Structure 1
Amino acid sequence: MMLLEREPVLASLRQYAHEASQGEGRLVLIAGEAGAGKSVLVERFQRDLPDAIWSWGACDGLSTPQPLAPLFDLARDLGGTLEDLCRGQPERDELFAALLTQVTGDDRLNVIVIEDIHWADEATLDLMRFLTRRIRAASVLVIATYRGDWLAPSSPLRLALGELAARRWARRLELPPLSVEAVRTMADGTGLDAGQLYRLTGGNPFYVTEMLEAGTHGVPLSARDATLSRTGRLSDTARQVLETAALMGVRIDAGLLADRQSELDELSASGLLVDEGIGLRFRHEIARLAIAQEIPAHRQALIHARILNALRAGGSRDDARMAFHAEGAGDEEAVVRHASLAARRAVDLGSHREAAAQYERALRWAAHSAPSAQAELYTGLAEEATLSDQSQTAADADEQALRLWRLLKDRRHEGESLQRYSLTLKHLCRGDEAVGAAIEAINTLEPLGGTRELARAYVTLASLRMTRSENDQAIDLARRAQALARSLDASDVVADALNTEGCAASATDPSWAGLIRRSLELAISRNLPNQAGRAYSNLYGIACDQFRFDEGEQYYRDGVAYCEQNDLDRHFHFLRAAHTIVLEHRGRWDEAVAISAQLLEESSAAPLHQICAQALIGVIYARRGEPGVWRALDSAIANAAPTGQPQYVIPARLARTEAFLTEGRVDEARHEAELAADAAHDIDEWMRGALRRWLYRTGSDRIVDGPIAEPYRLQEFGEHAAAARIWDELGCCLDAALALLDSSDEDDLRDALRRLDELGARATAGLARQKLRQIGARSVPVGPRRATRAHPLGLTPRECEVLELICERKTNTQIARALFISAKTVNHHVSSVLAKLGVETREAAADMSRNLTA
């Protein structure tokens, strides 16, 4: 393929390679449509770096690929310990560590190329996250290519790209189609009409090349036709080999065609296959698909059967590939066997989506398998679907497994399935059903004696009770779980039970954190990353719930570092979600909304994980008077209400209360606040205080007894300025403004208005103006000027001042002195400026500002 109009991209690659060679590792993500020339570009770039160490891997386009296929390709190039490990059945962590050691253990630049990551399995995406987090101080350049136009909104890669590209050392490049001038250059001397060629191909380099190859017969209607026209020039035997190769995938296992060397030579000479030095591959997936789709179904089955037999004869251990060909051949027994084995290997490698897909493949062909075998497959599917955030699939599989275990009268497996099913129902926000399943699990397992399954069932029900604020029952169950689990040396259950007990105690017992810290220490000492991640999450989450933000900051930093080090994405996401609440309280709303929107993308399949983000986005939009308020808040309560969990129901209801009030819909606001009160039982003094505050503001006469936190208590006693001072000390900007808004004193109300205008809470500020007019105040200030709101970067006047000083390379301390504000306030403003500009560094913000004013 002729390489035209790619010099700017090559220049960027050279720059990134130079930076990486200086010990500043880089991840480069190269996007382009199918046929844009991504592979050709990287192959051309390789000639610019002859002294670098190059290793290549590629993802496979099979319907369910082999997990970590690119890593095994890299091992072939790198050799050494990594290649030795790949010959066995190593743990995923061993493989990741070995790869990292080999590419960072040399003074020379290491270039890792992973092609076609739009086909990446879950473990490969985890490998990319692993590498990206660890190469920033290494002489490593990771290049990953993908089809940007191919990604669905819910694609795992789309979500992963957001995480990867957010790293400061990550870069993105795009390969656009060729211009008509470039197509004219390629067509020069062929006698073909360059304008027609451009219209037919859209400037796609592969399509142009294919059509030029077929040009002696006129321009075909499509690149597919151009590819197929080449096959007409082949011998019959070569065409048969080509069909077999097309059903193997882009990369061809030449060992399976060793007796057809003359045909392979003919195919290579035709240009349909390319010799990589280590084997043959199709020039492009487009060409392979064009050929595969022309093979009649009955011949496809025969070819798949021949490939499967050849793999067996060669002693292949690639069960994912064998399952693919077994399904194509219609070999029921082989599909079930190889898909089951492939699923288990995918589990070992942490590729949960691929494991679930292999279990589903096995189940499609398992109609004649024994009920116990089917039950095991459904159990495996339920576990892997849960881990890959496919909650409804998990629930359906759990129901089938339960049906079969009951048919077989296997009480232990039945109880285990019920316990897991209860957790699935919890994530689907079916709270009452989740509790019912957990109780049934215990009733099923208790007659069998003190088993590990029973200990796990106790801790599961304890967790469900705790999330519903049934704290006494939760503590009792957690202690029973601990006693049984210790007798069985089940450290993971002990750690979970300690954690749950601490969470349940947090509503009333000041020593709650000690229980969760014991859980954390046990988890770390016994190498239980999931339990450790949960402990960090709950230590931070509860500290935030109790407005102990400074204390929680250490848990957040340590927790994020631990989760990143151990690739605990679920707990990492929880920590970020809790952090948005802190950002919201501290007035950093743009950051809070941006992170919440990202969390909603990442947890699109799990309703439980969406509630906090939806409520936060909705209430901030309401304060600002922006559209989209009720779409977010209606979704939040639709997910929260069925959980029966005060921790979700009350914040969602109170967010709706606040939104109704900003719109002047007092009756509806009062109704929401009273519904929140209906859900309140065994809640802590902070949540109780918030609930009573909104009941008061809506004019409700509902009584919610119990102690409340100090700033709420001061507000109830009419000491609004004192309450605002405490909120200021806690760093809660809006809460301070709302405390003053409850006052009838004109000075307090003007102070509230000023604060609300600074926050950008236009709709809430309208309530302050209305109240000032009601008490007869004169000269009520108008809102921020339209010109200010229309600032091209969306910055407030104060943020503009901060940005100007950033451009002058002032530190936060220097900015604080210049503007007569605290360093902490400067930090908040700087974070808001960076978020609004969509950059991560002060230097990038300054560059953007200069470009705007240039």
Structure 2
Amino acid sequence: MPLLERDSALASLAEYARQASAGEGRIVLVGGEAGVGKTALVEAFTAGRPKVVWGMCDGLFTPRPLGPLFDIAGQIGLDVAAVSRDELFAAALRALAGVDILVIEDLHWADEATVDLVRFLGRRLRGTLAILTYRDDALTPGDPLRVALGDLGTQRATRRIGLAPLSEPSVRALAEDRGVDPAELFRLTGGNPYLVSELLRDDSGGVPASARDAVLARAAQLPQTARLVLDVAALIGTRVDPRLLTGATRAAPEALDDLVASGLLIGDGTVLRFRHELARLAIAQAVPPHRTRPAHAAVLAALQRLGSSDDASMAHHAEAAGDAEAALHHAVRAARTAAGLRSHREAAAQYRRAVRADGDDPALLDALAVELSMIDAWAEVAEAAERARVLWRAAGNGLREGNALRVRASAWVSLCRGGDALTDLEAALAVLEPLGPTEELARAYAQLAKHRALADRNAEAIDLARRAQAIAAPLGRHDLLSDTLNTEAAARLMLGEAWIPLMRRALSVAIEHGHDEEAGRAYTNLYGLLCRARRFPEAEPVYREAIAYCDEHDVDTYGTCLRGERAASLARMGRWAEALALCRIVLTRVEEASPINRIYALYVHATIRARKDEPDVWAALDEAAESADGSGEPQWIIKARLGRAEAYWLAGKLSDARAEAELADDACARADGWLRGWVATWLARTGSDRPARGALAEPFALEIAGDFAGAAGAWEALGCPYDGALALLGASDEDSARRALQVFADLGATAAVRVARQRLRDLGARSVPVGPRTATRANSHGLTRREQQVLDLVAEGLTNAEIAARLVLSVKTVDHHVSAVLAKLGVASRTEAVGKTR
């Protein structure tokens, strides 16, 4: 079938190839629905070009880690002998230096290690055009590939090509003189090129009800022997080694020739492949059940005779063949290989398979729980840990029983079941402490230390962390040492003691000894605790270093936590558009698997939208409160409850706001001055008669003392305009209320503007500004009046300091306005911003 409506895409690929050959490097993401012609486009573009290598992701239930890399290894002279993943990635980058075009197909089936490889190459390729095809209709919101594509999309080297189905005129042109009703053909296929071609190839005289019928109709024309071989090929996968196929079927070469002649399979170097995955699925699903198991058994036997090292494939075929012993053997080997490559989803899938084969081996359940924890599957972690605990207890192995309790406790924390976590940790210690100073005991102490710190029981947290350190150090467990130094540092901060040197040491220990997860946690806490104290200038370089480390080392859990902390900090600094964008990323990444990691993003997202008077904020606030209460952690309870208090207050529901503020107060007895101050101001703002608890951070202390101008000045100095405006509203003079109203208007805080206008009326103001709401809506880019003023002065060539002087603002406030303008316009520089609005 001719390649229609793809001239623009081909021209784009040619231009990107030219740019890559100039040394820039290009990653091109080619997306579209199944059958839209991604492969046909790439084949047409690469035809006749030298130095092109192809790899393909498996369509098997549990793909082989790094399948595409192993596909191209022989083509680029890459030695894939047993080396670490990092060394393999570096070697692949070197080997690709001599390649003009790298193609990786069907990235939607990529295992985690392949996704990591793509991200690794995306940051480093030079002189090579990498074309990555994927189904954009096959990705769930939290799919790791969707996250990776989002990360790749922010890089300079990345370009996107989206392929749409054919238009009705093109389908009509293809159907001309074919005896097919073109309107009906377009209706049945939606313009999908593959479906169109399959239906047009069918010569049965009518239009089949579906492409599946068209594929099966073509298969039915094969000789009986070739038809049986085709069934086995479909069960093997999209790419088929002819040796494996003939070994499994004992077929003569002529049978393979018949398959190629039919067009169902095509030659692709040394392998055969189905022209399209839809065709393979149609064949595989039509294999009668009574023949499926023997066919898988034959494939497994052939793999074994060939000396295959592909444990993932052998585990798949062994399980499908009902061979539990072989499934167990190969699944465990495949899981260990995947885990070593940090392909944790595939490792978890293989351990699930191993457990299905032998559910009475607690060691398998332990290993499964570890891998599940890496992919945020905490409900499954709890289930696996409980099954392991029962089996270890029956076996009389106290060490492993205690460890299983600790693992289940970690699941309860992530699932916001803090009470259950504490129960399990106490039970673990009851089992482990009589057994002496073991690694298992140290890990239980370390986890209980975190639990105590998060409950604001900081002296106990320090004691437990020190106990864990005393055991971990002689054992050489640097991961545990880093983890407990981290916890101790956070606890000392809460007690008002020096903490940064300890946190820096936790970070250096983790980095020096290659413990990426612990380094990610140290970076996250260092950044988050600096931001908690509104030390934003110090925190900024930490964030840049931290997010680069987490992305570089694929520490996704803490990369997500960092982005959540960043969103909260941006919100405090008045950079709301950026904060909302980050919240959306975090909530997409976490979805529903880890409720604890959603709370902050839910709170920030909902409160900003409440301030902007946008609808539908309560579902997020309800979820945040439910998860926070379940966690039992004061910091989350305070954030969630004060978010609700503010939303009620903005809506004029003072009694509801007061009740939420008092719930936050119930949780803040042991909190630090920042959280206590935050609660105290909302108690006062909502008319509660409860007094402030203990010493408060300076801006809050000033406000509670009635120095509203001083509080606003302190907030301004810290770079927190919204908090400063809230403080001004407490004053009894009209000028303060007007200043607050202006800040709210500049931020686009429509609901807060309404509150400020009511405050002016209460003060007896003769004229109350209507506010910039209409003007902001009229602005085609959604800029507030102040943001447009700032942009106009940027266009005049003024620096931020000069703009500040012109508008009688602080330089920091202008910085925030400029950042907000860039975010709303979706540009990266002042020059781009000016150009986009001219």
Normalising by structure 2, we get a TM-score of 0.96
1:189-208 equivalences in 2 (<5 Å): 189-208=177-196
Matching residue of 1:627: 615
Change (3 A) 1:697 1:97: same
Matching residue of 1:72: 70
Structure 1 counterpart of 2:53, from 43, 52, 55: 55
Change (3 A) 1:125 1:245: same
Structure 2 counterpart of 1:439, from 397, 421, 426: 426
Matching residue of 1:185: 173
**1:192–1:215 Cα contact (<8 Å) kept:** no
**1:168–1:840 Cα contact (<8 Å) kept:** no
Matching residue of 1:14: 14
Q: Does 1:638 align with 2:631?
A: no
Q: Does 1:130 align with 2:120?
A: yes
**1:130–1:567 Cα contact (<8 Å) kept:** no
1:759-798 equivalences in 2 (<5 Å): 759-798=747-786
1:25-424 equivalences in 2 (<5 Å): 25-47=25-47, 50-51=49-50, 53-79=51-77, 82=78, 84=79, 86=80, 88-103=81-96, 105-106=97-98, 110-135=100-125, 138-215=126-203, 217-258=205-246, 260-366=252-358, 371=360, 373=361, 375-424=362-411
**Mapped partners of 2:451, 2:439: distance in 1:** 19
**1:693–1:712 Cα contact (<8 Å) kept:** yes
- Report the residue type matching 2:668 in the other structure: A
Matching residue of 2:503: 516
Q: Indicate the SS of the match to 2:240.
A: coil
Change (3 A) 1:191 1:705: closer
Change (3 A) 1:489 1:203: same
**Mapped partners of 1:186, 1:771: distance in 2:** 69
Unaligned runs of 5+ in 2: none
Deviation at 1:220, TM superposition (A): 2.5
Unaligned runs of 5+ in 1: none
Q: Indicate the SS of the match to 1:212.
A: helix
- Report the residue type matching 1:97 in the other structure: A
Report which stretch shifted further, 704-713 or 236-245. Answer: 704-713
**Mapped partners of 2:464, 2:760: distance in 1:** 54
Structure 1 counterpart of 2:543, from 556, 565, 570: 556
1:646-725 equivalences in 2 (<5 Å): 646-725=634-713
Deviation at 1:315, TM superposition (A): 1.1
Matching residue of 2:720: 732
**Mapped partners of 2:386, 2:576: distance in 1:** 42
1:427-576 equivalences in 2 (<5 Å): 427-576=414-563
**Mapped partners of 1:220, 1:489: distance in 2:** 67
**2:772–2:785 Cα contact (<8 Å) kept:** no
Matching residue of 2:587: 600
Q: Indicate the SS of the match to 1:215.
A: coil
- Report the residue type matching 2:288 in the other structure: P
Deviation at 1:155, TM superposition (A): 2.7
Deviation at 1:310, TM superposition (A): 0.5
**1:753–1:768 Cα contact (<8 Å) kept:** yes
C-alpha deviations, 1:310-365, integer Å up to 9, x for none? 01111111111111111221112222222222111111111111111112222223
Identity of matched residues, %: 51
**2:530–2:538 Cα contact (<8 Å) kept:** yes
Change (3 A) 1:14 1:820: farther
**Mapped partners of 1:192, 1:843: distance in 2:** 55
**Mapped partners of 2:729, 2:738: distance in 1:** 9
Aligned residue pairs, count: 833
Deviation at 1:424, TM superposition (A): 1.1
Q: Indicate the SS of the match to 1:146.
A: strand
- Report the residue type matching 1:408 in the other structure: A
Report which stretch shifted further, 157-166 or 658-667. Answer: 157-166
Q: Indicate the SS of the match to 2:123.
A: helix
Change (3 A) 1:227 1:506: same
**Mapped partners of 1:6, 1:393: distance in 2:** 45
Matching residue of 1:835: 823
C-alpha deviations, 1:30-69, integer Å up to 9, x for none? 1111111101111111137x25x32211111111111111
- Report the residue type matching 2:59 in the other structure: G
Deviation at 1:118, TM superposition (A): 1.1
Deviation at 1:822, TM superposition (A): 5.0
**Mapped partners of 2:621, 2:135: distance in 1:** 35
**Mapped partners of 1:688, 1:824: distance in 2:** 26
Q: Indicate the SS of the match to 1:653.
A: helix
Change (3 A) 1:808 1:92: farther
Q: Indicate the SS of the match to 1:149.
A: coil
1:803-818 equivalences in 2 (<5 Å): 803-804=791-792, 812=800
Report which stretch shifted further, 192-201 or 235-244. Answer: 192-201
**Mapped partners of 1:798, 1:118: distance in 2:** 44
**Mapped partners of 1:56, 1:464: distance in 2:** 49
C-alpha deviations, 1:403-439, integer Å up to 9, x for none? 1111112101111111111111110111111122112
Q: Indicate the SS of the match to 2:252.
A: helix
- Report the residue type matching 2:751 in the other structure: A
**Mapped partners of 1:74, 1:800: distance in 2:** 52
C-alpha deviations, 1:750-788, integer Å up to 9, x for none? 111111111111212222221221121211111214243
Report which stretch shifted further, 88-97 or 349-358. Answer: 88-97
Change (3 A) 1:235 1:847: farther
**Mapped partners of 1:215, 1:829: distance in 2:** 65
Change (3 A) 1:14 1:680: same
C-alpha deviations, 1:277-324, integer Å up to 9, x for none? 221111111111111122100111111111111011111111111111
Change (3 A) 1:342 1:843: farther
> RMSD of aligned C-alpha atoms?
2.0
- Report the residue type matching 2:355 in the other structure: L
Normalising by structure 1, we get a TM-score of 0.94
**2:245–2:299 Cα contact (<8 Å) kept:** no
**Mapped partners of 1:645, 1:600: distance in 2:** 20
**1:640–1:648 Cα contact (<8 Å) kept:** yes
Q: Indicate the SS of the match to 1:31.
A: strand
Deviation at 1:823, TM superposition (A): 4.6
Deviation at 1:117, TM superposition (A): 1.1
**Mapped partners of 1:776, 1:385: distance in 2:** 62
Deviation at 1:554, TM superposition (A): 2.3
